[in-house]
Amino acid sequence: MSIETEMLNLTHIDRSMLAEVSPSHWEKMLSCIQCGTCTASCPAAHMMDIPPRRMWRMVQLGLVEKVLRSKSIWLCSACYSCHVRCPRGIPLTETMNRLKQLALQRGLVSSGTSQAFYRSFATLIRRYGRMREMELMARYVLSNPLAGVRFAPLGWKMLWRGKLQVQLPRLAGQDRLGRLFDRVAELEQQTPDSPNR
Amino acid sequence: MKYLFYPGCSQEGTAREYRDSTLAVLQALGAELEELKDWTCCGASVASAASQLLGLVLPARNLALAEQQANGPDLLTSCSACYSNLRRTQTTLADHPKLHHTVNQALEVEQLCYRGVVRVRHLLDVLANDFGPQVLQTRVQNPLEGLRVAPYYGCQTVRPYSRFDNPHRPRSMLGILEALGVQVHRHLREAACCGASLLVTQPDLGLDMAAEVLAACQGADCIVTVCPMCHMNLDAYQDQISHRLGQRVQIPVLYLPQLIGLAFGLPEQTLGLSRHLTPVRLPAKIATTS
Protein backbone atom coordinates (compact mmCIF):
# COMPACT_ATOMS: atom_id res chain seq x y z
CA MET A 1 0.00 0.00 0.00
CA SER A 2 1.37 3.37 -0.97
CA ILE A 3 1.32 5.99 1.72
CA GLU A 4 0.00 9.25 0.41
CA THR A 5 1.47 12.35 1.91
CA GLU A 6 -0.22 15.68 1.90
CA MET A 7 0.34 18.94 3.73
CA LEU A 8 -2.51 19.84 6.01
CA ASN A 9 -3.08 23.21 7.53
CA LEU A 10 -3.89 22.21 11.08
CA THR A 11 -5.04 25.68 12.04
CA HIS A 12 -7.95 25.45 9.58
CA ILE A 13 -9.52 22.10 10.15
CA ASP A 14 -13.05 21.78 8.83
CA ARG A 15 -14.97 20.64 11.89
CA SER A 16 -18.35 20.97 10.15
CA MET A 17 -17.82 17.64 8.46
CA LEU A 18 -17.10 16.03 11.78
CA ALA A 19 -20.48 17.17 13.07
CA GLU A 20 -22.12 15.78 9.98
CA VAL A 21 -20.43 12.41 10.19
CA SER A 22 -20.90 12.00 13.87
CA PRO A 23 -23.86 14.23 14.81
CA SER A 24 -24.46 13.01 18.33
CA HIS A 25 -20.98 11.79 19.09
CA TRP A 26 -18.57 14.25 17.52
CA GLU A 27 -16.99 15.13 20.85
CA LYS A 28 -16.36 11.47 21.44
CA MET A 29 -14.92 11.18 17.95
CA LEU A 30 -12.43 13.90 18.82
CA SER A 31 -11.35 11.85 21.82
CA CYS A 32 -9.97 9.06 19.58
CA ILE A 33 -6.41 8.42 20.73
CA GLN A 34 -5.38 6.47 17.64
CA CYS A 35 -4.66 3.33 19.64
CA GLY A 36 -5.55 1.08 16.69
CA THR A 37 -7.81 -1.33 18.59
CA CYS A 38 -10.39 -0.82 15.80
CA THR A 39 -8.01 -1.86 13.05
CA ALA A 40 -6.72 -4.79 15.09
CA SER A 41 -10.31 -5.97 15.70
CA CYS A 42 -11.51 -5.52 12.12
CA PRO A 43 -11.87 -8.70 10.05
CA ALA A 44 -11.79 -6.59 6.86
CA ALA A 45 -8.90 -4.22 7.65
CA HIS A 46 -6.40 -6.12 5.48
CA MET A 47 -8.55 -5.45 2.40
CA MET A 48 -9.26 -1.79 3.11
CA ASP A 49 -7.73 1.12 1.23
CA ILE A 50 -8.11 3.21 4.39
CA PRO A 51 -7.96 1.03 7.52
CA PRO A 52 -10.23 2.06 10.43
CA ARG A 53 -7.67 3.80 12.65
CA ARG A 54 -6.53 6.02 9.80
CA MET A 55 -10.13 6.58 8.73
CA TRP A 56 -11.10 8.02 12.13
CA ARG A 57 -8.06 10.30 12.08
CA MET A 58 -9.09 11.55 8.63
CA VAL A 59 -12.61 12.19 9.92
CA GLN A 60 -11.13 14.19 12.81
CA LEU A 61 -9.13 16.22 10.30
CA GLY A 62 -12.14 16.93 8.08
CA LEU A 63 -10.91 14.80 5.15
CA VAL A 64 -14.35 13.32 4.84
CA GLU A 65 -14.77 13.27 1.09
CA LYS A 66 -11.78 10.97 0.70
CA VAL A 67 -13.28 8.69 3.32
CA LEU A 68 -16.66 8.69 1.55
CA ARG A 69 -15.00 7.71 -1.71
CA SER A 70 -13.06 4.90 -0.07
CA LYS A 71 -13.68 1.20 -0.62
CA SER A 72 -13.37 0.66 3.12
CA ILE A 73 -16.82 1.75 4.13
CA TRP A 74 -18.35 -0.91 1.84
CA LEU A 75 -16.15 -3.62 3.34
CA CYS A 76 -17.56 -3.13 6.83
CA SER A 77 -19.90 -6.01 7.63
CA ALA A 78 -21.16 -4.30 10.82
CA CYS A 79 -19.74 -6.99 13.11
CA TYR A 80 -19.43 -4.40 15.90
CA SER A 81 -16.05 -5.73 17.08
CA CYS A 82 -14.39 -2.30 16.98
CA HIS A 83 -17.54 -0.75 18.43
CA VAL A 84 -17.53 -2.85 21.60
CA ARG A 85 -13.77 -2.72 22.03
CA CYS A 86 -13.06 1.00 21.51
CA PRO A 87 -11.49 2.19 24.79
CA ARG A 88 -13.01 5.65 24.23
CA GLY A 89 -16.49 4.21 23.80
CA ILE A 90 -16.96 5.72 20.34
CA PRO A 91 -19.89 4.04 18.54
CA LEU A 92 -17.75 3.22 15.53
CA THR A 93 -20.08 0.87 13.65
CA GLU A 94 -22.94 3.38 13.82
CA THR A 95 -20.53 6.04 12.58
CA MET A 96 -19.57 3.76 9.69
CA ASN A 97 -23.29 3.49 8.87
CA ARG A 98 -23.48 7.25 8.82
CA LEU A 99 -20.60 7.33 6.33
CA LYS A 100 -22.54 4.90 4.12
CA GLN A 101 -25.59 7.19 4.31
CA LEU A 102 -23.55 10.24 3.31
CA ALA A 103 -21.80 8.41 0.47
CA LEU A 104 -25.13 7.16 -0.91
CA GLN A 105 -26.75 10.59 -0.57
CA ARG A 106 -23.87 12.33 -2.32
CA GLY A 107 -23.38 9.74 -5.02
CA LEU A 108 -19.82 9.02 -3.91
CA VAL A 109 -20.21 5.26 -3.64
CA SER A 110 -17.06 3.47 -4.77
CA SER A 111 -18.67 0.04 -4.97
CA GLY A 112 -21.27 -0.50 -7.71
CA THR A 113 -22.14 -3.94 -6.38
CA SER A 114 -22.93 -2.65 -2.91
CA GLN A 115 -25.04 0.16 -4.28
CA ALA A 116 -27.00 -2.19 -6.57
CA PHE A 117 -27.67 -4.57 -3.67
CA TYR A 118 -28.78 -1.81 -1.30
CA ARG A 119 -31.08 -0.30 -3.93
CA SER A 120 -32.74 -3.62 -4.81
CA PHE A 121 -33.29 -4.39 -1.14
CA ALA A 122 -34.89 -1.03 -0.35
CA THR A 123 -37.18 -1.23 -3.41
CA LEU A 124 -38.48 -4.63 -2.33
CA ILE A 125 -39.15 -3.69 1.29
CA ARG A 126 -41.08 -0.67 0.10
CA ARG A 127 -43.10 -2.70 -2.36
CA TYR A 128 -43.91 -5.83 -0.36
CA GLY A 129 -43.16 -4.90 3.25
CA ARG A 130 -41.14 -8.09 3.51
CA MET A 131 -38.03 -9.27 1.73
CA ARG A 132 -38.44 -11.68 -1.16
CA GLU A 133 -35.06 -13.33 -1.39
CA MET A 134 -35.45 -14.72 -4.88
CA GLU A 135 -36.57 -11.41 -6.35
CA LEU A 136 -33.76 -9.64 -4.48
CA MET A 137 -31.17 -11.90 -6.06
CA ALA A 138 -32.86 -11.65 -9.49
CA ARG A 139 -32.78 -7.85 -9.36
CA TYR A 140 -29.22 -7.81 -8.08
CA VAL A 141 -28.06 -10.20 -10.76
CA LEU A 142 -29.80 -8.18 -13.52
CA SER A 143 -27.90 -5.10 -12.42
CA ASN A 144 -24.69 -7.05 -12.15
CA PRO A 145 -24.51 -9.94 -14.66
CA LEU A 146 -21.09 -11.05 -13.42
CA ALA A 147 -22.63 -11.87 -10.06
CA GLY A 148 -25.25 -13.85 -11.96
CA VAL A 149 -22.65 -16.19 -13.35
CA ARG A 150 -21.29 -16.71 -9.86
CA PHE A 151 -24.64 -17.27 -8.18
CA ALA A 152 -26.29 -19.46 -10.82
CA PRO A 153 -25.04 -22.82 -9.47
CA LEU A 154 -25.94 -21.85 -5.92
CA GLY A 155 -29.38 -20.68 -7.04
CA TRP A 156 -30.14 -24.02 -8.69
CA LYS A 157 -29.04 -25.93 -5.62
CA MET A 158 -31.24 -23.79 -3.41
CA LEU A 159 -34.26 -24.26 -5.67
CA TRP A 160 -33.62 -28.00 -5.68
CA ARG A 161 -33.55 -28.11 -1.89
CA GLY A 162 -36.75 -26.10 -1.68
CA LYS A 163 -34.92 -23.22 -0.05
CA LEU A 164 -36.04 -20.63 -2.57
CA GLN A 165 -39.70 -19.85 -3.01
CA VAL A 166 -40.64 -19.22 -6.59
CA GLN A 167 -42.80 -16.12 -6.38
CA LEU A 168 -43.58 -14.08 -9.45
CA PRO A 169 -42.90 -10.40 -8.95
CA ARG A 170 -46.07 -8.39 -8.61
CA LEU A 171 -45.62 -5.17 -10.42
CA ALA A 172 -48.98 -3.45 -10.16
CA GLY A 173 -50.71 -2.17 -7.08
CA GLN A 174 -47.94 -3.08 -4.69
CA ASP A 175 -46.57 -0.34 -2.52
CA ARG A 176 -47.06 -1.87 0.90
CA LEU A 177 -44.86 0.56 2.84
CA GLY A 178 -45.01 3.37 0.31
CA ARG A 179 -46.77 5.80 2.60
CA LEU A 180 -44.36 5.11 5.44
CA PHE A 181 -41.31 5.55 3.19
CA ASP A 182 -42.75 8.81 1.80
CA ARG A 183 -43.50 10.07 5.30
CA VAL A 184 -39.93 9.32 6.40
CA ALA A 185 -38.56 11.24 3.39
CA GLU A 186 -40.91 14.13 4.16
CA LEU A 187 -39.83 14.29 7.82
CA GLU A 188 -36.19 14.25 6.79
CA GLN A 189 -36.84 17.15 4.43
CA GLN A 190 -38.68 19.12 7.09
CA THR A 191 -36.04 18.66 9.72
CA PRO A 192 -32.83 17.96 7.85
CA ASP A 193 -30.92 18.39 11.06
CA SER A 194 -32.90 16.89 13.86
CA PRO A 195 -33.05 13.18 13.00
CA ASN A 196 -29.32 12.97 12.68
CA ARG A 197 -28.24 15.43 15.28
CA MET B 1 -44.65 -19.08 29.00
CA LYS B 2 -46.16 -16.78 26.37
CA TYR B 3 -44.36 -14.96 23.55
CA LEU B 4 -45.19 -12.85 20.54
CA PHE B 5 -43.21 -14.29 17.65
CA TYR B 6 -41.50 -12.14 15.02
CA PRO B 7 -40.03 -14.59 12.49
CA GLY B 8 -38.40 -12.13 10.08
CA CYS B 9 -38.28 -12.34 6.29
CA SER B 10 -35.73 -15.08 5.75
CA GLN B 11 -37.78 -17.53 7.81
CA GLU B 12 -40.51 -17.32 5.20
CA GLY B 13 -37.97 -18.41 2.59
CA THR B 14 -34.47 -19.77 2.83
CA ALA B 15 -34.62 -20.32 6.60
CA ARG B 16 -38.07 -21.91 6.81
CA GLU B 17 -36.57 -24.89 8.65
CA TYR B 18 -35.33 -22.54 11.39
CA ARG B 19 -38.87 -21.35 11.99
CA ASP B 20 -40.33 -24.88 11.86
CA SER B 21 -37.76 -26.30 14.28
CA THR B 22 -38.07 -23.31 16.61
CA LEU B 23 -41.84 -23.70 16.79
CA ALA B 24 -41.55 -27.48 17.30
CA VAL B 25 -39.02 -27.18 20.12
CA LEU B 26 -40.84 -24.37 21.92
CA GLN B 27 -44.08 -26.32 21.65
CA ALA B 28 -42.38 -29.37 23.15
CA LEU B 29 -41.26 -27.13 26.01
CA GLY B 30 -44.83 -25.97 26.56
CA ALA B 31 -44.38 -22.37 25.40
CA GLU B 32 -47.29 -20.50 23.83
CA LEU B 33 -46.44 -18.56 20.70
CA GLU B 34 -48.55 -16.07 18.84
CA GLU B 35 -47.22 -14.64 15.59
CA LEU B 36 -46.97 -10.87 15.38
CA LYS B 37 -49.78 -9.86 13.02
CA ASP B 38 -48.95 -7.81 9.92
CA TRP B 39 -45.21 -7.71 10.69
CA THR B 40 -42.85 -6.22 8.13
CA CYS B 41 -39.10 -6.26 7.46
CA CYS B 42 -36.80 -4.84 10.15
CA GLY B 43 -34.74 -3.12 7.43
CA ALA B 44 -31.79 -5.51 7.78
CA SER B 45 -28.46 -3.70 7.42
CA VAL B 46 -29.75 -1.81 4.41
CA ALA B 47 -32.35 0.63 5.73
CA SER B 48 -30.01 2.25 8.24
CA ALA B 49 -27.40 2.74 5.53
CA ALA B 50 -29.96 4.52 3.37
CA SER B 51 -31.31 6.78 6.09
CA GLN B 52 -31.02 6.93 9.86
CA LEU B 53 -34.71 7.65 10.28
CA LEU B 54 -35.80 4.79 8.02
CA GLY B 55 -33.44 2.48 9.89
CA LEU B 56 -35.33 3.30 13.10
CA VAL B 57 -38.86 3.51 11.70
CA LEU B 58 -38.90 0.03 10.14
CA PRO B 59 -38.04 -1.79 13.39
CA ALA B 60 -40.22 0.63 15.41
CA ARG B 61 -43.22 -0.28 13.26
CA ASN B 62 -42.94 -3.87 14.49
CA LEU B 63 -42.31 -2.85 18.09
CA ALA B 64 -45.44 -0.69 17.97
CA LEU B 65 -47.44 -3.57 16.48
CA ALA B 66 -46.27 -5.79 19.34
CA GLU B 67 -47.37 -3.25 21.93
CA GLN B 68 -50.73 -2.94 20.19
CA GLN B 69 -51.35 -6.67 19.78
CA ALA B 70 -50.69 -7.79 23.31
CA ASN B 71 -49.78 -6.11 26.51
CA GLY B 72 -47.30 -8.19 28.39
CA PRO B 73 -45.59 -11.00 26.50
CA ASP B 74 -42.04 -10.54 25.28
CA LEU B 75 -41.39 -10.16 21.56
CA LEU B 76 -39.38 -13.21 20.54
CA THR B 77 -37.20 -13.27 17.45
CA SER B 78 -34.82 -15.98 16.32
CA CYS B 79 -33.02 -13.88 13.70
CA SER B 80 -29.97 -12.07 15.04
CA ALA B 81 -30.17 -9.25 12.51
CA CYS B 82 -33.82 -8.59 13.42
CA TYR B 83 -32.93 -8.83 17.09
CA SER B 84 -30.09 -6.37 16.74
CA ASN B 85 -32.22 -3.90 14.76
CA LEU B 86 -35.12 -4.06 17.22
CA ARG B 87 -32.76 -3.62 20.19
CA ARG B 88 -30.80 -0.83 18.45
CA THR B 89 -34.04 1.03 17.86
CA GLN B 90 -35.13 0.61 21.47
CA THR B 91 -31.77 1.77 22.83
CA THR B 92 -31.49 4.74 20.45
CA LEU B 93 -35.04 5.97 21.01
CA ALA B 94 -34.74 5.62 24.79
CA ASP B 95 -31.63 7.85 24.67
CA HIS B 96 -33.04 10.41 22.20
CA PRO B 97 -36.59 11.58 23.04
CA LYS B 98 -36.70 13.96 20.05
CA LEU B 99 -35.91 11.13 17.69
CA HIS B 100 -38.54 8.99 19.42
CA HIS B 101 -41.07 11.73 18.70
CA THR B 102 -40.04 11.94 15.03
CA VAL B 103 -40.32 8.16 14.66
CA ASN B 104 -43.86 8.29 16.05
CA GLN B 105 -44.70 11.12 13.66
CA ALA B 106 -43.76 8.76 10.84
CA LEU B 107 -45.70 5.84 12.32
CA GLU B 108 -48.87 7.95 12.39
CA VAL B 109 -49.47 7.10 8.72
CA GLU B 110 -49.83 3.48 9.85
CA GLN B 111 -51.96 4.47 12.87
CA LEU B 112 -49.25 3.18 15.15
CA CYS B 113 -47.38 4.53 18.15
CA TYR B 114 -44.30 3.08 19.82
CA ARG B 115 -44.31 3.61 23.58
CA GLY B 116 -41.16 1.73 24.54
CA VAL B 117 -42.60 -0.90 26.86
CA VAL B 118 -42.23 -4.17 24.93
CA ARG B 119 -39.29 -6.43 25.79
CA VAL B 120 -37.37 -7.95 22.88
CA ARG B 121 -35.82 -11.38 23.35
CA HIS B 122 -33.57 -13.55 21.21
CA LEU B 123 -34.43 -17.24 20.92
CA LEU B 124 -31.04 -18.14 22.45
CA ASP B 125 -31.76 -15.90 25.46
CA VAL B 126 -35.16 -17.56 25.94
CA LEU B 127 -33.76 -21.10 25.64
CA ALA B 128 -30.79 -20.40 27.92
CA ASN B 129 -32.53 -18.29 30.53
CA ASP B 130 -36.33 -18.76 30.49
CA PHE B 131 -36.05 -22.54 30.18
CA GLY B 132 -32.41 -23.30 30.87
CA PRO B 133 -30.29 -26.43 30.60
CA GLN B 134 -32.07 -28.27 33.43
CA VAL B 135 -35.52 -27.98 31.87
CA LEU B 136 -34.14 -28.87 28.45
CA GLN B 137 -32.42 -31.93 29.89
CA THR B 138 -35.70 -33.32 31.23
CA ARG B 139 -37.05 -33.39 27.65
CA VAL B 140 -34.06 -35.20 26.13
CA GLN B 141 -35.06 -38.62 24.84
CA ASN B 142 -32.18 -39.19 22.50
CA PRO B 143 -28.95 -37.94 24.13
CA LEU B 144 -26.51 -36.87 21.42
CA GLU B 145 -23.57 -38.53 23.12
CA GLY B 146 -20.32 -38.52 21.24
CA LEU B 147 -21.44 -35.83 18.80
CA ARG B 148 -18.85 -33.05 18.59
CA VAL B 149 -20.61 -29.72 18.12
CA ALA B 150 -18.99 -26.35 17.40
CA PRO B 151 -21.11 -23.47 18.74
CA TYR B 152 -21.25 -20.38 16.55
CA TYR B 153 -22.93 -17.21 17.85
CA GLY B 154 -21.94 -14.70 15.18
CA CYS B 155 -21.92 -10.96 15.81
CA GLN B 156 -25.30 -9.44 16.30
CA THR B 157 -26.60 -12.18 18.59
CA VAL B 158 -24.26 -10.92 21.29
CA ARG B 159 -23.28 -7.36 20.40
CA PRO B 160 -23.65 -4.56 20.86
CA TYR B 161 -27.31 -4.18 21.87
CA SER B 162 -27.75 -7.65 23.29
CA ARG B 163 -27.82 -7.96 27.05
CA PHE B 164 -27.84 -11.65 27.80
CA ASP B 165 -24.28 -12.73 27.06
CA ASN B 166 -20.68 -11.60 26.89
CA PRO B 167 -20.11 -9.69 23.62
CA HIS B 168 -16.52 -10.95 23.24
CA ARG B 169 -16.66 -14.46 24.61
CA PRO B 170 -20.28 -15.66 24.76
CA ARG B 171 -21.20 -18.87 26.58
CA SER B 172 -24.98 -19.11 26.66
CA MET B 173 -24.99 -22.10 24.28
CA LEU B 174 -22.61 -24.12 26.45
CA GLY B 175 -25.10 -25.23 29.09
CA ILE B 176 -27.71 -26.04 26.46
CA LEU B 177 -25.29 -28.16 24.44
CA GLU B 178 -24.09 -30.02 27.52
CA ALA B 179 -27.71 -30.72 28.48
CA LEU B 180 -28.18 -32.42 25.10
CA GLY B 181 -25.25 -34.71 25.84
CA VAL B 182 -22.93 -33.44 23.10
CA GLN B 183 -19.23 -32.84 23.30
CA VAL B 184 -18.59 -29.10 22.78
CA HIS B 185 -15.87 -28.12 20.30
CA ARG B 186 -14.69 -24.74 21.62
CA HIS B 187 -12.94 -22.50 19.11
CA LEU B 188 -11.70 -18.96 18.63
CA ARG B 189 -14.27 -17.86 16.05
CA GLU B 190 -17.44 -18.40 18.10
CA ALA B 191 -18.35 -14.70 18.03
CA ALA B 192 -16.46 -13.75 14.86
CA CYS B 193 -18.24 -12.41 11.79
CA CYS B 194 -19.53 -14.83 9.11
CA GLY B 195 -19.13 -12.13 6.43
CA ALA B 196 -22.80 -11.08 6.43
CA SER B 197 -23.92 -9.52 3.13
CA LEU B 198 -20.29 -9.25 1.96
CA LEU B 199 -20.63 -12.76 0.52
CA VAL B 200 -22.96 -11.20 -2.02
CA THR B 201 -21.50 -7.71 -2.47
CA GLN B 202 -17.76 -8.26 -1.81
CA PRO B 203 -17.28 -12.01 -2.29
CA ASP B 204 -13.48 -12.08 -2.03
CA LEU B 205 -13.59 -10.74 1.49
CA GLY B 206 -16.88 -12.38 2.49
CA LEU B 207 -15.78 -15.87 1.49
CA ASP B 208 -12.51 -15.43 3.41
CA MET B 209 -14.42 -14.51 6.54
CA ALA B 210 -16.77 -17.49 6.29
CA ALA B 211 -13.76 -19.72 5.52
CA GLU B 212 -12.04 -18.67 8.74
CA VAL B 213 -15.05 -19.71 10.79
CA LEU B 214 -15.33 -23.05 8.99
CA ALA B 215 -11.60 -23.67 9.45
CA ALA B 216 -11.87 -23.04 13.20
CA CYS B 217 -14.71 -25.58 13.38
CA GLN B 218 -12.74 -28.37 11.66
CA GLY B 219 -12.80 -31.45 13.83
CA ALA B 220 -16.40 -30.99 14.88
CA ASP B 221 -19.21 -33.17 13.46
CA CYS B 222 -21.40 -30.11 12.96
CA ILE B 223 -21.75 -26.40 13.68
CA VAL B 224 -24.78 -24.89 15.44
CA THR B 225 -25.98 -21.36 14.72
CA VAL B 226 -28.79 -19.11 15.88
CA CYS B 227 -29.00 -16.75 12.89
CA PRO B 228 -30.32 -17.29 9.34
CA MET B 229 -27.62 -15.11 7.78
CA CYS B 230 -24.80 -16.96 9.56
CA HIS B 231 -26.41 -20.22 8.54
CA MET B 232 -26.60 -19.27 4.88
CA ASN B 233 -23.01 -18.09 4.80
CA LEU B 234 -21.58 -21.15 6.53
CA ASP B 235 -23.81 -23.74 4.86
CA ALA B 236 -24.25 -22.61 1.26
CA TYR B 237 -20.75 -21.66 0.18
CA GLN B 238 -18.73 -24.68 1.28
CA ASP B 239 -18.00 -25.71 -2.33
CA GLN B 240 -16.65 -22.27 -3.22
CA ILE B 241 -14.69 -22.12 0.04
CA SER B 242 -13.21 -25.59 -0.52
CA HIS B 243 -12.09 -24.40 -3.94
CA ARG B 244 -10.43 -21.32 -2.45
CA LEU B 245 -8.76 -23.20 0.38
CA GLY B 246 -7.62 -26.02 -1.91
CA GLN B 247 -9.00 -28.55 0.53
CA ARG B 248 -12.40 -30.14 0.93
CA VAL B 249 -14.50 -28.50 3.63
CA GLN B 250 -17.73 -30.30 4.41
CA ILE B 251 -19.30 -29.74 7.76
CA PRO B 252 -23.06 -29.72 8.37
CA VAL B 253 -24.48 -26.53 9.86
CA LEU B 254 -27.56 -26.90 12.05
CA TYR B 255 -29.80 -24.38 13.70
CA LEU B 256 -29.74 -24.77 17.48
CA PRO B 257 -33.44 -25.80 17.67
CA GLN B 258 -32.79 -28.47 15.03
CA LEU B 259 -30.12 -29.99 17.26
CA ILE B 260 -32.35 -29.68 20.32
CA GLY B 261 -35.16 -31.28 18.28
CA LEU B 262 -32.94 -34.27 17.48
CA ALA B 263 -32.19 -34.72 21.17
CA PHE B 264 -35.90 -34.40 22.01
CA GLY B 265 -36.62 -37.15 19.50
CA LEU B 266 -38.69 -34.91 17.22
CA PRO B 267 -39.12 -36.26 13.67
CA GLU B 268 -36.45 -35.16 11.20
CA GLN B 269 -39.13 -34.04 8.74
CA THR B 270 -40.36 -31.44 11.21
CA LEU B 271 -36.80 -30.24 11.72
CA GLY B 272 -36.16 -29.80 7.99
CA LEU B 273 -32.60 -31.15 8.04
CA SER B 274 -32.85 -32.10 4.36
CA ARG B 275 -33.17 -28.46 3.34
CA HIS B 276 -29.54 -27.61 4.01
CA LEU B 277 -27.10 -27.35 1.13
CA THR B 278 -24.32 -29.17 2.96
CA PRO B 279 -25.90 -32.58 3.57
CA VAL B 280 -26.54 -33.31 7.22
CA ARG B 281 -25.04 -36.74 7.78
CA LEU B 282 -24.73 -37.41 11.46
CA PRO B 283 -23.34 -40.55 13.11
CA ALA B 284 -25.87 -43.38 12.78
CA LYS B 285 -26.87 -43.55 16.42
CA ILE B 286 -27.81 -39.86 16.45
CA ALA B 287 -30.24 -40.10 13.56
CA THR B 288 -33.77 -40.45 14.86
CA THR B 289 -37.05 -41.66 13.51
CA SER B 290 -37.96 -39.84 10.35
CB contact under 8 A, A79 and B47: no
| Domains in chain A: boundaries | 3-105, 112-190
* Contact state of B14 with A79 under an 8 Å Cβ cutoff: no
Please tell me if residue A159 touches chain B, with a CB cutoff of 8 Å.
no
Domain A3-105 has CATH 3.40.50.300: no
Is B258 found in the same domain as B114? no
Answer whether A184 sits within 8 Å of B105, measured CB to CB: no
Residues 8-67 of A with CB under 8 A from B: 24, 43-44, 47
Which residue among A24, A44, A80 sits closest to B205, beta carbon to beta carbon?
A44
Residue B108 lies in a domain: yes
Residues A42-99 pLDDT 10s: 999 999 999 999 999 999 998 989 999 999 999 999 999 999 999 999 999 999 999 9
Please measure the distance between the N-terminal and C-terminal CA atoms of chain A and give it in whole angstroms.
36
- Give the residue on B whose Cα is nearest the Cα of A190: B102
> How far is the alpha carbon of A7 from chain B, nearest alpha carbon, in Å?
32
What is the rounded CA–CA span in Å between residue A128 and residue B252? Answer: 33
Could A44 and B197 be called an inter-chain contact, meaning their C-beta atoms sit closer than 8 Å? no
To the nearest whole Å, the CA of A8 is away from the closest chain B CA by 30
Interface test with B, best of A20, A84, A113, A125 (most B CBs within 10 A): A125
Min CA distance, B143 vs chain A (Å)? 28
pLDDT of residue B205: 96
Neighbours of B143 (CB within 10 A): 15
Distance CA B2, CA B4 (A): 7
* Residue B115 domain-assigned (yes or no): yes
Say whether A180 and B274 touch across the interface (CB within 8 A).
Answer: no
CA geometry: angle A82, A44, B43, nearest 5 deg: 70
What is residue A195's predicted lDDT score, i.e. its pLDDT?
40
Residue that wins the pLDDT comparison between A189 and B88: B88
Residue A172 pLDDT greater than 70, yes or no: no
Q: Using a CB-CB distance cutoff of 8 angstroms, which residues of chain B are in contact with residue A177?
A: 40, 58
Domain boundary among B89, B122, B155: B122
* Contact by Cβ (8 Å): B131, B29: yes
B128 belongs to a structural domain: no
Show residues of chain A in contact with B205, CB under 8 Å.
44, 47, 75
Yes or no: say if B164 and B172 are a contact pair by the CB < 8 Å rule: yes
Nearest-neighbour CA in chain A from B229: distance (Å):
12
CATH number at residue B46: 1.20.1050.140
Cβ distance of B110 and A165 shorter than 8 Å:
no
Of A97, A177, A188, the CB nearest to B49: A97
Q: Is the pLDDT of residue A167 over 80?
A: no
User: How far off is chain A from B92, nearest CA to CA, in Å?
Assistant: 11
Asked if the model's pLDDT at residue A130 lies above 80, the reply is yes
- Same structural domain for residues B217 and B238? yes
CA-only gyration radius of chain A, Å: 20
Task: Report the alpha-carbon distance of residue B67 to residue B90 in Å, rounded.
Answer: 13
Chain B residues closer than 8 Å to A114 by CB: 201-202
B252 & B147 share domain = yes
State whether B113 and B184 are in the same domain: no
pTM of the model: 0.93
Q: At A26, which amino acid appears?
A: W
Q: How far is CA A148 from CA A144, B16, B212, in A?
A: 7, 24, 25
CB of A139 within 8 Å of a chain B CB? The answer is: no
Using a CB-CB cut-off of 8 Å, the residues of chain A touching B196 are 77-79
Domain annotation covers residue B191: yes
Asked if residues B217 and B150 have their Cβ atoms less than 8 Å apart, the reply is: yes
ipTM of the complex: 0.92
Q: Give φ, ψ of A164 to 5 degrees.
A: -100, 135
- Give me the pLDDT at residue A171, please: 60
Do both B209 and B232 map to the same domain?
yes
Chain B residue nearest residue A44, CA to CA: B205
Which chain A residues are closer than 8 Å to B200 by Cβ? 113, 117, 140, 147
How many domains is chain B built from? Answer: 2
Angle at B82 between CA B241 and CA A128, to 5 degrees: 95
CATH number of domain containing B147: 3.40.50.11810
Query: Among A21, A77, A90, which would you mutate to test the B interface (most chain B Cβ atoms within 10 Å of its Cβ)?
Result: A77
* B89 and B33 part of one domain: yes
Residue A192: per-residue pLDDT: 54
Residues B146, B279, single domain; the answer is: yes
Same domain, B90 and B145: no
Model pLDDT, residue A142: 80
Contact B288, B268 (CB under 8 A): yes
- Both B104 and B211 in one domain: the answer is no
pLDDT digits (tens), chain B, 290 positions: 899 999 999 998 899 999 999 999 999 999 999 999 999 999 998 898 888 999 999 999 999 999 999 888 999 999 999 999 999 999 999 999 999 999 999 999 999 999 999 999 999 999 999 999 999 999 999 999 999 999 999 999 999 999 899 999 999 999 999 999 999 999 999 999 999 999 988 999 999 999 999 999 999 999 999 999 999 999 999 999 999 999 999 999 999 999 999 999 999 889 999 999 999 988 765 655 44
Q: Domain residues for B24?
A: 2-122
pLDDT of residue A196 exceeding 50 = no
Q: Are the Cβ atoms of B50 and A133 closer than 8 angstroms?
A: no
pLDDT at A117: 82
Q: What is the reported pLDDT for A2? A: 57
pLDDT of A133 > 90? The answer is no
Q: What is the percentage of chain A residues whose pLDDT exceeds 90?
A: 43
pLDDT in tens, B97-137: 999 999 999 999 999 999 999 999 999 999 999 999 999 99
